[in-house]
Amino acid sequence: MPAFDPEHLQRCLDEMKRRDVDVLVLGREANARYLSGATRLWLAGTRPFGPGCVVVRDRATVHLLSTTDDLVPLSREQLFPMSWNPATIAGALAAIPGVADARRVGVDGMTPLFAQLLRGLLPEAVLVDGEDLLASVRRVKSAADVGAIRAAIGVAEEALRVALSALVPGVRERDLVGAYVEATGGLGVTTPEFDAVFHVVDDDVAGNFATERVVRDGDLVVASVGVLSHGWVGRLARTWPCGKPTKAHRAAVVEWRALRNPLLEQLRPGTTVAELRTQHSAVRGVGTGDELLDDDQVLEPGMVLAARFGHEGVAGEDTFLVTESGATMLTTFPYMPA
Amino acid sequence: MTATTLDAPAVDFTRLRRERLAKLRDAMRANELDALALIGQSNVVYATGARAPAADASLAAHQRMVAVVHADDEWPHLYTAFADGVPPELPADHVHDALPVERDAGAGALAAGLPARNVGIDEYTFALYRVLAGREPKDATPALGAAKVVKTPDEVELIRAAERINEQAMLDVESLLVPGVRATELSGRFLRRIYELGATANTVDPIFQLMPASIDAGPFTLTGDLVFPTVTRDQRFEQGHVIWVDTGINFHGYASDFGRTWIVGNEPDARQRAQFERWREVIDRVAASIRPGATAADLVQSAGEVYGRRPWPSHLYLGHGIGTDSAEMPLVGTDLGPAFDASLTLAPGMIVVLEPIAWEDGYGGYRAEEIVVVTDDGCEFLTRHHYWPFT
């Protein structure tokens, strides 16, 4: 069940104070999830900016655009209703206590229409970067946050185990996606962080999508999966053989690990994200959604990172918690079949 | 169960992309726009036909494709990280690396490639808003809406094909609906089947909402009206439960929309059958009113009242369009109001998803959805699914 986390709000209020921001008007679902604890209907893809969640600093309140309190752990006074009419939504926004007096307003996106409505509503207010503010708030995780991410990873790993048991000669890449999503549903989770990808390692294929391709005995398949479980991301990737494990697969994984492991030694406070990024690696933050990390971001204890490493078609991704002295791997999935 | 992709629809994808772009250019001219900068993913898909992996909103934003359409250039410019999602006919000098528009560098690069004036943009990241603040770009929405609202025959076929996959998957889910089944198991089976059958992606967390007998017995709402939809949770369904189903998938960029009412383990009783009949009467009345020249207000009027109320929840609508977005113009019967409805005139090739409810407070109700396309003299149903367990 969703829960409101007062620590999240406090971190946000502290950062608003530091940046002299009076009100946040947030459209991005990951920000709304983090602040409200609400589960709203999951939709794939980007959506245009709208005032989905509002934070008023001097009243320490969170307000959410939701017609119902179902799966919304806030009081009814903290809800404002949806409308198809942008002017009506702008009116509801203005009616939130404390909004009309705001001098500096953080927003995490904008549309031409809303820019016009906000200028009419708050002609004197200065708009500042609310996405950057929330990114800095969300970057460092509490123990409870890490527990939620571990639970999400557990779902992704169990579903991946089921999907890989379907990796037999003759199966199509897209059937493996099907096996994976059915397994997450069986575990009570029906929202992905991204559409799972199962693709045969092939020099000629970029491999961003699962296709109709039939997997053959001895093929290596890269499996990339991610769930959004109770609002938290759990993701990982592995390269797995179809059919009996072969010496070739074992050798490829051994080589992959030998090349990847030096990266792990750099996972500690003080390292910059740029130092983790090579032509073979990708690094991102993980939380109530994907987190962009700039190259000059310095690792701090409490950050949770997903690091993907790929070499000659073999790819793997793990999730790590940065600790005081290094990092703890949160993913537990094996790298090759038992 | 043998997993097989459904037969491909008769769609010429090169023609589809060419005709969409031609419509978009016409709309740009009508709106006096020399260039469009698009970052909303459904808009990029519309303008370019490119594909990015489906993802949760924040990941989708961070890996977003960007399109720039110049009025005097035959081809759009596409910025993407996904080489295997680029349409084959797009010239290489129009395909570029991804633009990180979440950051000043990427936003600045996008701005630098735009003309000084008459630029339309669909939405901003904050970095884009900051970079473009002095230039006052116009709202691209009217031009996009004008292009999108009437579908080409290829677009209609893709929506039909998306709906067919959705319906086929539901036949399998229906067989799972027995007392004791968990809602998330239904979602899991549905999701499995759409991928097996050839879906490009899922677009909405499948909704299996357990309906109360009365509004008061359901969740709180600010409107005092019925709550729909609520988010599917891990709960067991029992004998006699009434479930409102709502799902949508993506097929080559186009959305489906499936809605039906199910009863767990029971045949519908006489009252439930009557509710279904009232719902069907609304559909029949509205469908009979759909023809070129009819307005959304005509549809609202033909829907009338059922059980003493307007047959849809106050925060929703009688119907909505569908295309590269799961809900788009024409919106029918929203709180945009009667004047808006009266201003919206149907034309051949427009699509309306009708989703009335027949709600008999105290005794529950029936809800389902029908996708119809406006034809030269009426409308055609794209939804072909049965009304199990009512028929």
Taking the C-alpha atoms of residue A189 and residue B316, their distance in angstroms, rounded to an integer, is 27
Q: Encode chain B (391 residues) as per-residue pLDDT tens digits.
A: 457 888 889 999 999 999 999 999 999 999 999 999 999 999 999 999 999 999 999 999 999 999 999 999 999 999 999 999 999 999 999 999 999 999 999 999 999 999 999 999 999 999 999 999 888 899 999 999 999 999 999 999 999 999 999 999 999 999 999 999 999 999 999 999 999 999 999 999 999 999 999 999 999 999 999 999 999 999 999 999 999 999 999 999 999 999 999 999 999 999 999 999 999 999 999 999 999 999 999 999 999 999 999 999 999 999 999 999 999 999 999 999 999 999 999 999 999 999 999 999 999 999 999 999 999 999 999 999 999 999 9
Do A16 and A128 lie in one domain? The reply is: yes
For B73-95, write each residue's pLDDT tens digit: 999 999 999 999 999 999 999 99
| Residues in contact with B236: Cβ distance below 8 Å, sequence separation at least 6, in sequence order | B180, B181, B182, B183
B331 DSSP 8-state letter: E
| Interface contact B145, partner A, CB < 8 A | no
Q: Which of B251, B249, B275 is nearest to B261 (CA)?
A: B275
Do A135 and A149 lie in one domain? The reply is: no
A171 DSSP 8-state letter: -
Structural element, H or E, at residue A320: strand A314-322
Contact B178, B239 (CB under 8 A): no
Domain stops at, among B114, B148, B182: B148
| Interface contact B181, partner A, CB < 8 A | no
For A151-206, write each residue's pLDDT tens digit: 999 999 999 999 999 999 999 999 999 999 999 999 999 999 999 999 999 988 88
CA distances to B67, B210, B225, B387 from B261, rounded to whole Å, are 40, 10, 19, 8
For B343-362, write each residue's pLDDT tens digit: 999 999 999 999 999 999 99
Task: Check CB contact under 8 Å for A29 and B57.
Answer: yes
Question: Phi and psi (nearest 5°) for B59?
Answer: -65, -40
Residue B8: inside a domain: no
Taking the C-alpha atoms of residue B231 and residue B244, their distance in angstroms, rounded to an integer, is 12
Give the nearest partner residue to A45 out of B60, B83, B124, using CB atoms: B60
- When the pLDDT of each residue in chain B is averaged and rounded to a whole number, the result is 97
Q: Please say if the pLDDT value at position A323 is more than 60.
A: yes
Residue B20: inside a domain: yes
Amino acid B172 reads D
Residue A335: inside a domain: no
Taking the C-alpha atoms of residue B115 and residue B234, their distance in angstroms, rounded to an integer, is 52
Do B225 and B168 lie in one domain? The reply is: yes
pLDDT of residue B7: 87
pLDDT of residue A204: 82
Do A162 and A125 lie in one domain? The reply is: no
Residue B257: inside a domain: yes
Q: Give the residue from B5, B58, B332 with the most A CB atoms within 10 Å of its CB, the best one to mutate.
A: B58
Q: What CATH number should be reported for the domain holding residue B116?
A: 3.40.350.10
Do A120 and A38 lie in one domain? The reply is: yes
Domain that holds residue A187: 143-329
Structural element, H or E, at residue B79: strand B77-79
Contact B174, B388 (CB under 8 A): yes
Residue B201: inside a domain: yes
Q: What CATH number should be reported for the domain holding residue A268?
A: 3.90.230.10
Contact A80, A96 (CB under 8 A): yes
Q: Which of A129, A88, A132, A93 is nearest to A110 (CA)?
A: A129
CA distances to A173, B41, B90 from B18, rounded to whole Å, are 30, 18, 11
For chain B, the first-to-last Cα distance in angstroms comes to 26
Task: Check CB contact under 8 Å for B182 and A188.
Answer: yes
Q: What is the ipTM of this complex?
A: 0.97
Domain stops at, among B148, B177, B192: B148
Q: Please say if the pLDDT value at position A2 is more than 80.
A: no
Q: Across the strands, what pairs with B208? A: B245
pLDDT of residue A244: 87
Alpha-carbon gap: A115 to the closest alpha carbon of chain B (Å): 9
Please identify which residue in the block is written with the tokens 């033909």. Answer: B302
- Look at chain A and report how many structural domains it folds into: 2
Do B159 and B139 lie in one domain? The reply is: no
Domain stops at, among A124, A139, A154: A139
Question: Phi and psi (nearest 5°) for B64?
Answer: -70, 150
Do B68 and B196 lie in one domain? The reply is: no
| Interface contact B250, partner A, CB < 8 A | yes
Structural element, H or E, at residue B332: strand B328-332
| Residues in contact with B284: Cβ distance below 8 Å, sequence separation at least 6, in sequence order | none
Domain stops at, among B148, B169, B201: B148
For B169-211, write each residue's pLDDT tens digit: 999 999 999 999 999 999 999 999 999 999 999 999 999 999 9
pLDDT of residue A206: 86
Do B205 and B117 lie in one domain? The reply is: no
Residue A209: inside a domain: yes
Residue A228: inside a domain: yes
pLDDT of residue A139: 98
Do A230 and A244 lie in one domain? The reply is: yes
Residues of chain B with pLDDT > 90: what percent? 96
Residue B1: inside a domain: no
Do A156 and A259 lie in one domain? The reply is: yes
- Look at chain B and report how many structural domains it folds into: 2
Do A97 and A159 lie in one domain? The reply is: no
Alpha helices by DSSP H, listed for B137-293, are 141-148, 153-174, 183-197, 270-289
Taking the C-alpha atoms of residue B333 and residue B338, their distance in angstroms, rounded to an integer, is 7
Do A231 and A290 lie in one domain? The reply is: yes
| Interface contact A188, partner B, CB < 8 A | yes
Taking the C-alpha atoms of residue B234 and residue A201, their distance in angstroms, rounded to an integer, is 36
Maximum C-alpha span of chain B: 66
Task: Check CB contact under 8 Å for A70 and B220.
Answer: yes
Q: Which two tokens stand for residue B356?
A: 């009335």
pLDDT of residue A249: 86
Do B226 and B121 lie in one domain? The reply is: no
CA dihedral B53, B57, B63, B67 (to 10 degrees): 90
Residue B299: inside a domain: yes
Do A182 and A132 lie in one domain? The reply is: no
Do B195 and B300 lie in one domain? The reply is: yes
pLDDT of residue A1: 60
Do B157 and B60 lie in one domain? The reply is: no
Domain that holds residue B340: 153-381
Residue B391: inside a domain: no
Residue A336: inside a domain: no
Task: Check CB contact under 8 Å for B234 and A111.
Answer: no
Residue A198: inside a domain: yes
| Interface contact A257, partner B, CB < 8 A | no
Q: Give the residue from B205, B232, B244, B254 with the most A CB atoms within 10 Å of its CB, the best one to mutate.
A: B205
Do B229 and B105 lie in one domain? The reply is: no
Do B214 and B128 lie in one domain? The reply is: no
| Interface contact B212, partner A, CB < 8 A | no
For chain A, the first-to-last Cα distance in angstroms comes to 35
Please identify which residue in the block is written with the tokens 């939804």. Answer: B383
B85 DSSP 8-state letter: G
pLDDT of residue A121: 93
Residue A338: inside a domain: no
- How many CB atoms are closer than 10 A to CB B195? 30
Could you give the 3-state DSSP secondary structure of residue A210? coil
Residue A337: inside a domain: no
Handedness of CA B377, B378, B383, B386 (dihedral sign): negative
Do A91 and A171 lie in one domain? The reply is: no
Q: Across the strands, what pairs with B353? A: B320, B371
**What's the length of chain B?**
391
CA distances to A156, B106, B185, B232, B256 from B389, rounded to whole Å, are 35, 54, 20, 21, 22
Domain stops at, among A107, A139, A171: A139
Q: What CATH number should be reported for the domain holding residue A122?
A: 3.40.350.10
Do B242 and B367 lie in one domain? The reply is: yes
Do A12 and A86 lie in one domain? The reply is: yes
Do B173 and B95 lie in one domain? The reply is: no
Taking the C-alpha atoms of residue A321 and residue A331, their distance in angstroms, rounded to an integer, is 10
Task: Check CB contact under 8 Å for B202 and A30.
Answer: no
Q: Please say if the pLDDT value at position A309 is more than 60.
A: yes
Q: Which residues of A touch B102 (CB under 8 A)?
A: 131, 292
Residue B7: inside a domain: no
pLDDT of residue B1: 44
pLDDT of residue B369: 98
Contact A50, A27 (CB under 8 A): yes
Do B56 and B189 lie in one domain? The reply is: no
Please identify which residue in the block is written with the tokens 């059919």. Answer: A243
Residues of chain A with pLDDT > 70: what percent? 99
| Interface contact A28, partner B, CB < 8 A | yes
- When the pLDDT of each residue in chain A is averaged and rounded to a whole number, the result is 96
Among left, alpha and beta (phi > 0; psi -120 to 50; other), residue A210 is beta
Q: Which residues of A touch B57 (CB under 8 A)?
A: 28-30, 43, 45-47, 289
Structural element, H or E, at residue A185: helix A173-186
Domain stops at, among A85, A115, A139: A139
Taking the C-alpha atoms of residue A272 and residue A260, their distance in angstroms, rounded to an integer, is 17
Q: Which residues of B touch A25 (CB under 8 A)?
A: none
| Residues in contact with B390: Cβ distance below 8 Å, sequence separation at least 6, in sequence order | B261, B268, B272, B273, B276, B366
pLDDT of residue A9: 98
CA distances to A207, B30, B96, B179 from B227, rounded to whole Å, are 41, 40, 45, 24
Task: Check CB contact under 8 Å for B231 and A71.
Answer: yes
Interface subset of B 34-53, CB within 8 angstroms of A: 39-42, 51, 53
CA dihedral B236, B241, B242, B243 (to 10 degrees): 10
Alpha-carbon gap: B141 to the closest alpha carbon of chain A (Å): 9
Do A132 and A15 lie in one domain? The reply is: yes
Q: Please say if the pLDDT value at position A38 is more than 50.
A: yes
Contact B282, B367 (CB under 8 A): no
Please identify which residue in the block is written with the tokens 């590269």. Answer: B324
Give the nearest partner residue to A206 out of B84, B187, B337, using CB atoms: B84
